[in-house]
Structure 1
Amino acid sequence: MALRYFAVLTVVLALATTSKRAVADPDILSDFIVPQNNTKVNGTFFTCTKFRGLFDGVPETFKVTKAALTEFPALNGQSVSYAVLQFPANGVNPPHTHPRSAELLFLVAGSLDVGFVDTKNVLYSQKLQVGDIFVFPKGLVHYQYNSQPNMPAIAVSAFGSANAGTVSVPLSVFATEIDDEILAKSFKTDVDTIEKIKAGLAPHK
């Protein structure tokens, strides 16, 4: 009986470990990974200049600038990435998730109202001031909002993945091909309301 219990426990632990590895960045067996088409590696390969001049102006709408795997190939296998979040007055980063990483946000200018919702639908919110750090747990829905009517805000976010991924709640629900009738029933409203929401999310031409 004890042997059978031990065998089941071993299988459960093995599955749990395998599942955890499947969603995390892979471990690498070298110091770093160089793309196949890169024949020369020097300090430039390990440098990202995307943030130069970023703080010289204020965007008209919320803007995120990433230094992740796509933008910065040297991050491949390193399990880290950055993003700079720029909020104009009353700017918002709508509810979204990062399926592969927690987010550690550091506020460097202005103030932000932030929050996340856990799996019990409990909201944890806070008003951040310059110098504050807030963590959004991996995979949970969260947001950031600059409630100041005439002051911009800037934050820097760090991720424990080179490719944290972003799933926008409004876009994934209302800007995909989910049938309007299904959405109307799910949100206990009517199709006309759903169509108005979709029209509001459509890109401006």
Structure 2
Amino acid sequence: MKVFRYTTGPIMVNTYLVYDETGKGFIVDPGGYSKQLAEKIREERLDVEYIIITHGHGDHMGGVDEFKAEFPQLKVIAYCGEKDFLENADLNSSIELFGRPITVKADKFVKDREQLEVGSMELTFAFTPGHTPGGMSIIMEGYVFSGDTLFNSSVGRTDFYGGDFGALIKSIRERLFVLPDNTVVLPGHMEKTTIGYEKENNPFVR
């Protein structure tokens, strides 16, 4: 498996391009359009099948329309409890975070612990509310894409509409900290970290 990180959009979201040895892949949280990411797809002749949105804030999905226009085969995946955020700019803070209203229609809504195979990769979707009511993380062998739930030595904000600090900490402790300590955390902002490091050092959840 190969993972490439691109910072996109005005809030500098970590957008990830992930693919395996078969060339099958997916994009996580396209906060804005990235010419470099698109060129990587074409150069490697990748079969990128999905855009996966960890949560429905506008700064994490501002590039969906442009990527879908360029790669029409892309299907958008989000958690079933996040439909209202994706489709309602008054809820998803897109004007506040991105400077314009953003809405997205998901092609597939997933449930907690639902799994998806992309090439040789197996993804498990974990419901991790708190930053938003329907936020999720994407768990793979050795990795977790944590969106805005868990950061390097920090956690996601809960002062936006629908935020719940207690739910966020519970999500981290019960859904993420149960993963092996060497699991690499690929967050929506900031640098990567590991579950073990955060268990020992994160001041919000120690």
When you count strand as a share of all residues, which structure comes out higher? 2
Question: If you compute each CA radius of gyration, which structure gives the higher value, 1 or 2?
Answer: 1
Normalised by the size of structure 1, how large is the TM-score? 0.29
